[in-house]
Amino acid sequence: MPILNKNDLYYLHPDTGPTKASKDRNFLESFYNFAGKSYWHVTCFDGRSLKFLKDVLPKDILQEIRNKNIFLSIGSEYEVFIDVPEAIYDFAVKDLSIPAESIVLFSANSRIEEIATKVALERNLPNIQAHWVSIFERMVARNIAPPLDTLHIKPYPKKFMSLNRRWRPCRLSLVSHLKAKNLLEQGFVSLQSFEGKNWDNSWDYMMQFQDQETKELFELHKHDIVSLPDLTLDSINFDDMNLATQTLDDCYLNSYFSIVGGTSFYEKETPMIAGLCEKTFKAIQKKHPFMLLQPVNNLPLLHRLGYKTFDGLIDESYDGEPDDNKRMWMIVNEIERLCNLNEAELETFLVEAKKIVDHNYKNLTYRMCLPRV
């Protein structure tokens, strides 16, 4: 049997409590084969949200889950929070007496199985089932647009793209590095006041993640950095954005690589997090070479899914560097090198990168048709 409450799903949030989930929350069914067993499904923002599980789980369903006739399916597939397994053992296993073996968790964090196993060992309890789902891949593929004809051999006044709408420390660090190295003007870069965030109230938070060398560099250039105007690439309202948005196609066509900034980068800020954000697959959809401004060892996640990356054209050794500040410096130095390719080097880059982006686009469309696991 499929999800029993498919038309009556709840979304749990720590601040707003339970709300009826939108139809988009059913998207998990395109990933996982729920047939053959019975599931009662709920989605959540983070671990704290699960304190509301008792308020939405029907008593008769709860008893059937306790009897191991139904599985409790918990979807945190849009988030990477590491507190969900711990909360499952607190609010479901302990408080509701649900057997751990009857619980299935879906997360956007590729390390979720490792995290869940660690919690189970610490508590000397059976494991829950924990699955990483690269849901943003399917979301982008579902909104696939006609492929862009990128990477023409021509002059490129702008070299790269870097999209930074939400203010994350890693994105602020990148923009600060680019400004300090006079690289900002060579790219299509977005960063503007958003959700109440600006340089005045974000500088100190960003600085706590920097090593001494970086702090000195940023302090030296602080006036120029915090005086930056809003960097805008389009006028689309945030609420109107979706994965099919094509307002930045000219930027993809008139640059030759992207720096894909995820939500997380610094282990100190968000430990034990890895995953692939929607911007990664947006670059693949747009046939654009990319570097990942994300936690260590993220490129192998793409390789696992059949994608090729750009080692040999882009120095991808940054991805294996566990020191976050060193990794950031390696990324920035590689951006600088790529911006300064001579005519012959750029032509080689464009020709060889086009083979990779064509493969990746085909893989994105192919994987949309894969059977569910």
Q: Rounded to the nearest 5 degrees, what angle is found at the Cα of 80, between the Cα atoms of 76 and 81?
A: 85
pTM for the structure as a whole? 0.91
What is the predicted pLDDT for the residue at 238?
Answer: 52
Q: Say if residue 256's pLDDT is above 80.
A: yes
Amino acid at the residue 142: R
Express as a percent the part of the chain with pLDDT over 90. 76
Structure tokens at 49: 């949200």
What is the predicted pLDDT for the residue at 30?
Answer: 67
- Are 127 and 105 spatial neighbours (Cβ–Cβ below 8 Å)? no
Mean pLDDT of 227-239: 76
Which residues contact residue 76 at a Cβ distance below 8 angstroms, ignoring those fewer than 6 apart?
Answer: 43, 44, 45, 46, 84, 105, 106, 107, 108
Range with the poorest average pLDDT among 35-44, 282-291, 336-345, 347-356? 35-44
- Are 325 and 177 spatial neighbours (Cβ–Cβ below 8 Å)? no
Q: Say if residue 373's pLDDT is above 60.
A: no
- Are 343 and 350 spatial neighbours (Cβ–Cβ below 8 Å)? no
Q: Cα separation of 72 and 283, whole Å?
A: 35
Q: Which residues of 9-41 are buried (b: 16+ CB within 10 A; e: fewer)?
A: bbbbeeeeebeebeeebbbbeebbebeeebbbb
3-state secondary structure 73-133: EEEECCCCCCCHHHHHHHHHHHCCCCCHHHEEEEECCCCHHHHHHHHHHHHCCCCCEEEEC
Taken in order 263, 267, 269, 272, the sign of the CA dihedral is positive
Mean pLDDT of 252-279: 92
What is the predicted pLDDT for the residue at 25?
Answer: 52
Q: Cα separation of 193 and 228, whole Å?
A: 11
Domains of the chain: 10-133 (no CATH), 145-367 (3.40.50)
- Are 120 and 100 spatial neighbours (Cβ–Cβ below 8 Å)? yes
Q: Say if residue 261's pLDDT is above 70.
A: yes
What is the predicted pLDDT for the residue at 233?
Answer: 85
- Are 132 and 113 spatial neighbours (Cβ–Cβ below 8 Å)? yes
